[in-house]
Amino acid sequence: MIYYIYADEKKEFIQECKTHLDNEKVAYLPFSKISELDITKASQFLVTGCLDEIKLLMGIAYQSDIPLGIIASKDQKELIKTFSLTYKVEDAVKQALTISEKKVDVLYCNGEIVLQEVVVGNAPPLDSFDSTLQGKSYFDRVKLFWRTLKRVKSLKHRHITLTDAKENTFNLSAVGLVGLEYNNNTFASKLIRSQLSVNDGKLSIVILAPTSVIQYMGYLFKSLVSYHTPKNLPKSVGYISSSKVTIESKIEMEVLIDSTKKQITPIELEVKEKALALSVGEAFWENQNVQSHGKDSIKIDHLPSDEESANYLSEVIPFFTHASKEQYATLFTNLREESRVSQTFMVLLVLATMIATFGLFINSASVIIGAMLLAPLMQPIVSLSMGVLRQDEALEMNGAKTIAIGVLSVLLMAAVIAMVIPIERLTSEMAGRLSPTILDLFVAIVSGAAAAYAKSNEKILGSLAGVAIAVALVPPIAVAGIGMGWGDWSMFLTSFLLFITNLVGIVFAGAFTFAMLGYSPLHLAKKGITIWLVIVALVAIPLYASFTKMAEDIHIQKKLSNIAFNVGEHDVKLTHIELIHRAKIDEIHCEVISTGILSKEEKVELKEVILKTIAKKATVIVTFRYRL
């Protein structure tokens, strides 16, 4: 006999279902009279009711090994979607009557059946169904993103202990967990879809443990705005899969079962493998990983687990990631050592200076790059940036002292070489370091961020060589030293400005990057970063002026380049335009290709045309070439 157990308030819906059950031998029984149920006569159960009522009958069906079919009402959208049921009553009845040949696992929480999920603490949006985004416009998803992000203020990390079926214990810090058995279209199940199976005897715990607001924002944006499931598990999320998991916390955490039933930790989640023949839609099986691997899966190594992190994050989730005590100690040990003047530092710096200076004289870019790689000047600059961030006077003073000694050594060595070498010729490699602009500051800032990031991660320390090439430190000082040796103070000042640009850009960006990586609380970092931001702004003033002048020069070159006009009896064209800025008046150097030799009057006319075209006063110096 088929027993159809239904909620007392669903009588009208049951009447509609009865019209499709006339050919079946069905006994109808409301939940209020479930005590009258005769298990010995039951061959199959049908059920209509709320989640608690459905779970009650699921328990009876499991204990009695009787197949179960769910006929959901239209308002139970998530239930219908989870089990791929149908909205149409006739088809729903037919589907429920079809006894499944496959059995599904049943998840229990402290002895109570879980139909959808168990939520411990707060885990937005892992505990939400993806149907919340269906039909939403991009603007609506952005609003949902901001609403969810605002909840970050209420998220508190708690020290949690997980124990699996093999009695392995895992300690970690997290804001919330979601326990589930199969793909139920929640954001949690979407993240670990490949790990979920309906009949492998394993439950899964998805753990939300963001260590910074930035990290959490990244996951939220992908999930809610771009509506994209990350291919790799987000850094703020981990999971554990086992047949049984016990969840304990030092501070009691609220537990929701299927969004309603409330408990508190500790709890025990356990799976009964292949426990129930549940009639579901074909799409349900297609959405599950039916391959049973039989092994526990654990991916929580990237989540905070030490006592320090748990205590720090229990107050509030910081905007930037907080570095661990071990990371902090290791980095500071290295930076303190590198901030001091040492014999190795001086030997390498002198050799790099000699190589760079000779490379500038012979105009060899490859030789100069070699000097960039050899020079150790980046080390005390990065140390200085950490001192600025942490307001560590010892680190600041040592870093500044080492930089000053290093710079003075390079200047003197380059000046001596320039005076000894009997060549006073400005090469293109030297000239390239005499016109710093705001673009050089941008390069220095990006390079400083890269240097700090590489220094904080031992796995990518080799990338510092690339940073050293990107932002040349020794070559511009060497050019300044050559200017000193030649007595050309304009050359000294412009090339030394390039070094100052690189220095302030690296220190500011390095300090800011270390702050983002969690090596200092923001209230401590604010002062140092603000001071160096002001220094950067001051340095940017002459750089912006140079940039404006460079843009103006390019505009003039474009106006004059390949311009063709008639002067007297001859046709002329200007090529190879070069602007030289002098103290009193600028010079325009160019080549003039003419059809014949110009008279004195024609040369005056040529000059007037050039000056009228650029609309400014300048000395015009030309080289004539004649077209035969």
Place 272 in a pLDDT band, splitting at 50, 70 and 90: very high
Going by C-beta distance under 8 Å and a sequence separation of 6 or more, which residues neighbour residue 604? none
Look at residues 246, 281, 315 and tell me which one is the last residue of a structural domain: 315
Mark whether 381 and 512 lie in a shared domain.
Answer: yes
Mark whether 334 and 468 lie in a shared domain.
Answer: yes
pLDDT of residue 349: 93
Mark whether 473 and 532 lie in a shared domain.
Answer: yes
Pair of tokens at residue 627:
């077209």
Do β-strands 267-276 and 278-279 pair in parallel, antiparallel, or remain unpaired? unpaired
In a domain, 415, yes or no: yes
User: pLDDT tens across 231-266, in order?
Assistant: 788 889 999 999 999 999 989 999 999 988 788 999
Q: Residue by residue, what is the 3-state secondary structure of 56-121?
A: HHHHHHHHHCCCEEECCCCCCHHHHHHCCCCCCHHHHHHHHHCCCCCCEEEEEECCEEECCCEEEE
> Is it the case that residue 617 has pLDDT exceeding 70?
yes
More confident residue, 517 or 293: 517
Q: Which residues constitute the domain of residue 269?
A: 112-315
Mark whether 544 and 615 lie in a shared domain.
Answer: no
User: pLDDT tens across 83-100, in order?
Assistant: 999 989 999 999 999 998
> Is it the case that residue 584 has pLDDT exceeding 90?
no
Mark whether 342 and 482 lie in a shared domain.
Answer: yes
Looking up residue 68, the CATH number of its domain turns out to be 3.40.50
Q: Of 119, 292, 265, 305, nearest to 206 (Cα)?
A: 119
Mark whether 387 and 527 lie in a shared domain.
Answer: yes
User: pLDDT tens across 158-209, in order?
Assistant: 999 999 999 999 999 999 999 999 888 889 988 888 888 888 889 999 999 9
Looking up residue 565, the CATH number of its domain turns out to be 3.30.300
Q: How many domains does the chain have?
A: 4
pLDDT of residue 464: 60
In a domain, 279, yes or no: yes
Look at residues 273, 291, 315 and tell me which one is the last residue of a structural domain: 315
> Is it the case that residue 451 has pLDDT exceeding 90?
no
In a domain, 104, yes or no: no
> Is it the case that residue 64 has pLDDT exceeding 80?
yes
Q: Residue by residue, what is the 3-state secondary structure of 541-582?
A: HHHHHHHHHHHHHHHHHHHHCCCEEEECCEEEEEEEEEEECC
Mark whether 492 and 617 lie in a shared domain.
Answer: no
> Is it the case that residue 448 has pLDDT exceeding 60?
yes
Going by C-beta distance under 8 Å and a sequence separation of 6 or more, which residues neighbour residue 226? none
pLDDT of residue 465: 62
pLDDT of residue 458: 65
Q: Global pTM?
A: 0.68
In a domain, 105, yes or no: no
Q: Calculate mean pLDDT across residues 344-364.
A: 93
> Is it the case that residue 463 has pLDDT exceeding 80?
no
More confident residue, 161 or 565: 161
The SS3 of residue 29 is strand
Mark whether 298 and 434 lie in a shared domain.
Answer: no
Mark whether 253 and 372 lie in a shared domain.
Answer: no
> Is it the case that residue 273 has pLDDT exceeding 60?
yes
Place 492 in a pLDDT band, splitting at 50, 70 and 90: very high
Q: Calculate mean pLDDT across residues 276-290.
A: 83
Look at residues 515, 548, 581 and tell me which one is the last residue of a structural domain: 548
Looking up residue 272, the CATH number of its domain turns out to be 2.60.200.40
Count of positions (residues) in the chain: 628
Peptide bond into 542 cis (omega under 30): no
Which region among 301-305, 313-317, 497-501 has the lowest average model confidence (pLDDT)?
313-317
In a domain, 284, yes or no: yes
The SS3 of residue 207 is strand
Question: What letter represents residue 117's amino acid?
Answer: E
Q: Calculate mean pLDDT across residues 145-162.
A: 90
In a domain, 278, yes or no: yes
Give how far Cα 419 sits from Cα of 415, 416, 424, Å: 6, 5, 9
User: pLDDT tens across 47-60, in order?
Assistant: 999 999 999 999 99
In a domain, 452, yes or no: yes
Do β-strands 112-114 and 244-249 pair in parallel, antiparallel, or remain unpaired? unpaired
DSSP 285-326: HHTS------S-EEE-TTS--SHHHHHHHHH---SSPPPPHH
Mark whether 184 and 215 lie in a shared domain.
Answer: yes
Mark whether 622 and 531 lie in a shared domain.
Answer: no
Mark whether 360 and 506 lie in a shared domain.
Answer: yes
